[in-house]
Amino acid sequence: MAKIGKLKNKMPRDKSTWLLVIPVLIIAALGLFSFGDNGGMLQTPATETTVATSRPVELSFSDVLRRAKEIKTMNIRGNDASGTLDDGTKYNAVIAYDPELLTKLADGGASISIDSSKSFWERTAMWLPIILWIVFFWLIFRGPRGGISRSIASQNPTKITTGNSKKTTFKDVAGIESEKQELMEIVDFLKDKEKYRALGARVPRGVLLSGEPGTGKTLLARAIAGEANVPFFAASGSDFSGIIVGLGVAKIKEIFEMAKRNAPCILFIDEIDAIGQKRSMQIHNDQDREQTLNQLLIEMDGFSSNTGVIVLGATNRVDMLDPALLRPGRFDRQVYIDLPDLSGRRDILKLYADRVKIASDVDLMDVARGTTGFSGADLENLLNEAALHAVRAGHTEITTNDMDEARDKIMMGPRKIRNIRDDDKKLTAFHEAGHAFVSQHYANVTDPIHKATIIPRGRALGMVQHLPVDDKVSMTLAEVRAQLSISLAGRAAEEIFFGSDKITTGAESDIANATRLARYSVTTAGLSDKIGLVAVNQSSTFGTRTALENASEKTAEAVDAEIQNWLKTAHNDAKNILSHNRATVERLANELLQRETLTGDEIREIIAGKKATAKRATKTAKTTKRKVAKK
């Protein structure tokens, strides 16, 4: 942190000053040369007329400057100007391109028009020097605190949107109940800061909303502001990088200042990965971006959580974010927004279907069934496309056929929603059911299941999430063994229910995870009797097979054999558990196939043999960290 403090942003500011000043000087100088002679070319001597005559009076340039206040209108064509004075007198004048002129005319409230017989470029070229001069002087005289990049930042204001046009509330967000619930606390805090302050409760300063595009992150952020009735400021990470070095830093300062002035409020930063990318991932050493990130960190550290500014960041690439952003006091709360599951999709469809005319035979549940992988935005778009199709087809209301056409169009559209074959879906359901069942089997030693889903995310076709009960720093041997079984249970289920010739490559990351854990246990944590309390592989990097240091050939072989053995034992264990509970696992898989997502409670109910309640328990999930077992 000390390093960040020192870095501040001295360097780029100097650089940016010169980057900007030099071209401005050059252009302005050119401008003066090209128009300089006109400036002195004053025509007829001044004739002061106070009586309105039909013949226009001729004004010299200095007259124009002197009497600028009296000028009511001015039409400019090249260097000629004409118009009327306040008293109705018409005038003709020759003008030069003098910065003073514009200011004076503007002060006097004159309405100026530039004759359009000149091409846009001609006109721009003529007025450009003046504009540049104005900008230039304005920048120079803006006081010491500003500096150029700062002023530029205010010149290109970050799109700050305050949401009072139409208030968005949680009613406008459908299908993601548990996420809403999770964010309710923030609404509560914004509404009643005192309550939290009195208790000394620490409220998150930053919440990171992550999830695929179109899952409603922006919508949720707006809704939080709407629910709490506080201003909503939005900026996008991509606004913070520009050609001018130091611009990002200045803009970050600007938005945070604005937010603090308007607290309590929501400050929403979309595409935060554009600023907060892992430093190691940047292709070239992008110093400017790093400065911007540092500034963001400084700002986030700089206000106490009691100021009432809540920063919501959104990204679909959490894995790319610099870990510094995720530390306590920054974006220390993460809410993952999943693609909506079956009932979620139906709810979203219903929300938007109420706004269009839909035939009574359209079954939204059917539509929901056929739209796995669609985001909220896709579903909204689906209804919109269907309405358009209906109009084109001359229907008076949206029919099932319109919906189908729209769906196909969207699936083939730019977002290319993966159309998962029913066979794959079924296999995935059993795979995840395997993970889930074995997890529940070991519920007394491992973390409880948070949820299981067969909605694809990234490359994974489905996943089972666990909820850490507490922040563990170590694992017991029993826990390691259980974890290995859970990891390999997906593949085990595929073998049991589909036969060993139908197994898939889908267990790739399970196997990688299990191998990493087994290797760590055997070579580093001293959990294996055979190998003993020897650190064999000190240079291990994330389970990649590096040469065993400090080990004889013989030990290396023993280590390999031991890892194999642990994994084999775990695999057999998982197969045992599953084959002894075939009926239950099958029930679980079918339920998953039907509903796509099951919460931990629902999984436990199904396993216990109770019919899972149809109504979703909107359990809050207090997670800072979720272990994710990808398929």
Q: Give the burial string for 523-553 (b: 16+ CB within 10 Å, else e).
A: bebebbeebeeeebbeebeeeeeeebeebee
Binding mask 482-501 for Zn ion (x = CB under 5 A): --------x-----------
Least separation in angstroms between CB 488 and Zn ion: 9
Q: Which residue is nearest to Zn ion (CB)?
A: 490
Q: Which of 12, 31, 83, 175 binds ligand ADP (CB under 6 A)?
A: 175
SS3 assignment, position 313: strand
91 Cβ contact partners less than 8 Å away, ≥ 6 residues apart:
56, 57, 58, 59, 71, 82, 83, 84, 85
Which amino acid, one-letter code, is at 460? A
For the segment 505-544, give every residue that binds Zn ion (CB under 5 A).
510
Token look-up 């019919």 returns 611
Interface with Zn ion, residue 631, by CB under 5 A:
yes
Q: Does 343 bind ligand ADP (CB under 6 A)?
A: no
Query: Could you say which of Zn ion, ligand ADP, none residue 462 binds, taking C-beta under 5 to 8 angstroms by partner kind?
Result: none
Q: Report the partner that residue 380 touches, choosing among ligand ADP, Zn ion, none (CB closer than 5 to 8 A by kind).
A: ligand ADP
Amino acid at 434: G
Q: Which does 213 bind (CB under 5 to 8 A by kind): ligand ADP, Zn ion, none?
A: ligand ADP
**Within 544-563, which residues bind ligand ADP (CB under 6 A)?**
none
**Contact between 324 and ligand ADP per CB under 6 A:** no
**What is the sign, positive or negative, of the torsion defined by CA atoms of 526, 527, 530, 536?**
negative
Residue sitting closest to ligand ADP (CB): 376
Yes or no: say if 347 and 175 are a contact pair by the CB < 8 Å rule: yes
| Buried-state track 253-267, b at ≥16 Cβ within 10 A, e below 16 | bbbbebbbebbbbbb
Alpha-carbon gap, residue 27 to 428, rounded angstroms: 64
Please report whether residue 491 would count as binding ligand ADP according to CB under 6 A: no
Quick one: what does residue 490 bind among Zn ion, ligand ADP, none, with the CB cut-off 5 to 8 Å set by partner type?
Zn ion
481 near ligand ADP, judged by CB under 6 A: no
Q: Which of 28, 57, 176, 507 binds ligand ADP (CB under 6 A)?
A: 176
Catalytic position from the list 290, 385, 432, 494: 432
φ, ψ of residue 588 in degrees (nearest 5): -60, -45
Under rule CB under 6 A, which residues in 191-220 are in contact with ligand ADP? 213-219
Beta-carbon neighbour count of residue 98 at 10 Å? Answer: 17
Element containing residue 537 per DSSP (H, E):
none
Return the number of the residue (13 or 616) whose C-beta is nearest ligand ADP: 616
Active site residue 432: yes
Residue count of the chain:
631
240 or 352, CB closer to ligand ADP? 352
Our CB check for Zn ion shows the closer of 428 and 540 to be 428
Site membership for ligand ADP, residue 167 (CB under 6 A): no
* Residue 214 partner contact from Zn ion, ligand ADP, none using kind-dependent CB cut-offs of 5 to 8 Å: ligand ADP
> Please, what is the Cα angle at 199 between 195 and 201, to 5 degrees?
95
Active-site residues: which are they?
A: 432
Binding residues for ligand ADP, rule: CB under 6 A, are: 173-176, 213-219, 314, 348, 351, 376-377, 380
Binding residues for Zn ion, rule: CB under 5 A, are: 490, 510, 631
